[in-house]
């Protein structure tokens, strides 16, 4: 479905009935990444998936898409659907958007899953890497996308998951250059939202991978100290919904019962 928004359109899906769960994809992904989860989740819940600004079939609205911009777009879809309370589940960049949404619209959130994501801002080194990525995209779009997707998986899983990686690459290559750059710029300037992990009244689950090259495990596990965040750790990379699908789905269904 398409929603008219700021001279462009937002693409989303709406499946099932019950408490609303909003699934938010990561960088270079789109809402099709959740296709393997929707049939199971929609048996008990109303599942909303949304293409972020500049991804999938959702258009761009500027040179920079901040996490707040993306959260406002999510809010526009929920307003259209007349949904007042949601559980947010965000992968990587989708987690950053979830945190921005919780800051902007705290009364609408009753639970949150941060999958292979973090509440912390980019380090100075990470910001430099974003700038390098922007230059790489401009010089060799296809090469950048192909390498970026492979690096999301642990080396141990790349051969086993070759079909899934290739399918992801094909979807990622549909992302326009402007959308990629706008997201990189937006992630680079995102705020520190670690305080949310400490003080919000709703439950949060954080999923981390020990071999995640995008979010080094040792650097990001410490953000759960002194919080009530439920931590799920897997031995693999940045793509827990693929690398650890069966167990992860069980963990999600159990967590959702408490939201």
Q: How many CB atoms neighbour CB 163 within 10 A? A: 8
Q: With CA atoms as reference, report the closest residue to 184 among 229, 246, 133, 114.
A: 133
Q: What CATH number does the domain located at 2-256 have?
A: 3.40.50.1820
50-81, pLDDT tens digit by residue?
Answer: 999 999 999 999 999 999 999 999 999 999 99
What pLDDT is recorded for position 236? 97
Mean pLDDT taken over the chain: 97
Residue 167 pLDDT class (50, 70, 90 cuts) = very high
Q: With CA atoms as reference, report the closest residue to 235 among 254, 209, 259.
A: 209
What residues contact residue 198 under an 8 Å CB cut-off, 6+ apart?
226, 227
Instruction: Give percent of the chain with pLDDT exceeding 70.
Output: 100
The mean pLDDT of 42-51, rounded to a whole number, is 98
């Amino acid at each position: 479905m398409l929603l008219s928004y700021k001279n462009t359109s937002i693409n989303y899906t709406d499946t099932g009935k019950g408490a609303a769960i909003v699934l938010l994809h990561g960088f270079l992904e789109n809402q099709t990444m959740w296709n393997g989860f929707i049939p199971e989740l929609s048996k008990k819940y109303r599942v909303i998936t949304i293409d972020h600004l500049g991804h999938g079939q959702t258009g761009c609205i500027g040179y920079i898409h901040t996490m707040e911009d993306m959260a406002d777009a999510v809010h526009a879809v929920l307003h259209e659907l007349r949904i007042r309370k949601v559980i947010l589940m965000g992968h990587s960049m989708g987690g950053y958007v979830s945190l921005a949404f919780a800051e902007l619209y705290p009364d609408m959130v009753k639970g949150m899953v941060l999958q292979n994501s973090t509440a912390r801002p980019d380090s100075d080194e990470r910001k430099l890497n974003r700038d390098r990525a922007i230059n790489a995209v401009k010089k060799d779009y296809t090469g950048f996308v192909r390498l970026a997707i492979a690096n999301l998986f642990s080396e141990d899983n790349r051969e086993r998951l070759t079909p899934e990686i290739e399918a992801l690459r094909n979807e990622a290559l549909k992302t326009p250059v402007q959308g990629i750059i706008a997201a990189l710029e937006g992630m680079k300037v995102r705020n520190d939202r670690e305080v949310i992990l400490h003080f919000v009244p709703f439950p949060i689950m954080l999923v981390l991978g020990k071999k995640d090259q995008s979010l080094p495990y040792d650097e990001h596990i410490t953000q759960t100290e002194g919080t009530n965040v439920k931590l799920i750790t897997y031995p693999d990379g940045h793509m827990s919904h693929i690398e650890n699908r069966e167990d992860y789905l069980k963990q999600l269904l159990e967590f959702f019962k408490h939201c």
